[in-house]
Amino acid sequence: MPPALIALFAAAFAIGTSEFVIAGILPAVSTDLAISIPTAGMLVSLYALGVAIGGPLLATFAGRFSRKPLLVTYLVIFTVGYAVCALAPGFVALLAARMVISLIHGAYFGTAMIVATTLVEERRRGFAVALVLAGLTVANVLGVPFGAAIGNAFGWRTTFWTVSILGVASLAAITVLLPRDTAPGGARGSFLAELRVIGREPVYSSLLVIALQTIGQFAVFTYIAPLLTNISGLSIDTVPLLLVIFGLGSTIGVLIGGRLADWNLMATLIGILAAQVVMYALMVVFVASPWPMAALVMVWGALAFAFGSPVQSRILANTRDAPLLASSLIPSAFNVSIAGGAWLGGAMIDRNISYAALPWIGVVASALALGVAVWSAARARAPGTPELGGSRG
């Protein structure tokens, strides 16, 4: 494995930790800055909005620059930004710093996934993408709980200092381990070329798969604690353990998904989405049964993240001539859909629909995603419509 892949993973871990750790220290931030919890929650919601906007915005002009300097620049902004967060005198300054950092979040992952696929031979590109994505899942398993524990013990500012230190380490790793990149020629730097590839069917259909699957996942995951306690009958004390199990499952799933994508990309994507339909259907059936639901949580974690490697590898395979805008739209699609899924689940609950009905959203959304993937695969097999990714796509 190229050491540069480890550097990309480390930076993904740092950025993933920084995005999600705020949830664990939100009450402390609220108390210290004398603001309400909902106001403090803007640190989460507006960050997601910044991720969705920032990646495509930066991609409109970043194509003219070499990718290693881009990654270094993003990590410098990240590192300095969290030092500013740690020193922020008030909520407005903290929010402004988080918003600046959010703008480079999507741009980092879009660029990092492109770079990852250039570091390995073609048959291992799925695994390379999976390793970058694994930085996010490991952040949820290790970085977020550790960062929250530091914040609870030493104050929320210490958490941000720790994240900034992670940024320094990642910046050093990228600087030392990532080779000087020789960017592809041709349409590099052309916004029209970057925009044109979004109209390719494998690209927009894959983004639609991401949106549908993620809406279904987060309509359930956002409200997983009350679902497991109020409906499944599990103790509130077991929920953190189940979330750790979910995180472990997601890490295993994303790596397995990457390996399988290198074997057969579309067969893997379709198989994972079909398994998700079955898994959500089982949640509907066993939603009131504590231990079957507990077992399903780990399977859910694995399947929910396993689809990420093949679907993102497909986008990258079909945009190699102008990849920056398309790759930056991937985290945008995820973040907008996370917000959409949380809103949809909340809207149902606000209408006094039981938490037990939430897995039905997963069934419908994953079935629609499966339908799009099957349609796209059939279209790709039609005469005269080959994908740029070849037989793997």
Least confident of 48-52, 77-81, 355-359, 371-375: 48-52
- Answer whether residue 382 shows pLDDT above 80: no
Give the Cα separation of 277 and 370 in Å (integer).
8
Give the Cα separation of 176 and 305 in Å (integer).
30
pLDDT at 158: 95
Mean pLDDT of 83-90: 95
Which of the four pLDDT bands, split at 50, 70 and 90, describes residue 268?
A: very high
How many other CB atoms are there within 10 angstroms of residue 237's CB atom?
8
Q: Which CATH architecture has domain 194-392?
A: Up-down Bundle (1.20)
Which of the four pLDDT bands, split at 50, 70 and 90, describes residue 364?
A: very high
pLDDT at 25: 82
Least confident of 10-24, 128-142, 180-194: 180-194
pLDDT at 383: 62
pLDDT at 393: 44
**Sequence ranges of the domains in the chain:** 3-183, 194-392
pLDDT, tens only, 298-347: 899 889 888 888 898 898 888 877 777 787 788 888 888 888 888 888 88
pLDDT at 56: 80
Q: Which residue has the higher pLDDT, 253 or 65?
A: 253
Mean pLDDT of 224-246: 83
pLDDT, tens only, 40-67: 878 877 888 888 888 787 766 776 778 8
pLDDT at 324: 74
Give the Cα separation of 4 and 109 in Å (integer).
15
Q: For the domain 3-183, what is the CATH superfamily, name and number?
A: MFS general substrate transporter like domains (1.20.1250.20)
Least confident of 6-15, 35-44, 355-364: 35-44
Mean pLDDT of the chain: 85
Which of the four pLDDT bands, split at 50, 70 and 90, describes residue 74?
A: very high
pLDDT at 384: 57
pLDDT at 183: 54
Domain pair 3-183 / 194-392, same fold: yes
Cβ-contact 363, 220 below 8 angstroms: no
pLDDT, tens only, 94-144: 999 999 999 888 888 888 888 888 888 877 877 888 888 888 878 877 887
Give the Cα separation of 138 and 150 in Å (integer).
17
pLDDT at 77: 96
pLDDT, tens only, 150-159: 888 899 999 9
Q: Which residue has the higher pLDDT, 182 or 71?
A: 71
Q: Determine what percent of the chain is predicted with pLDDT higher than 70.
A: 93
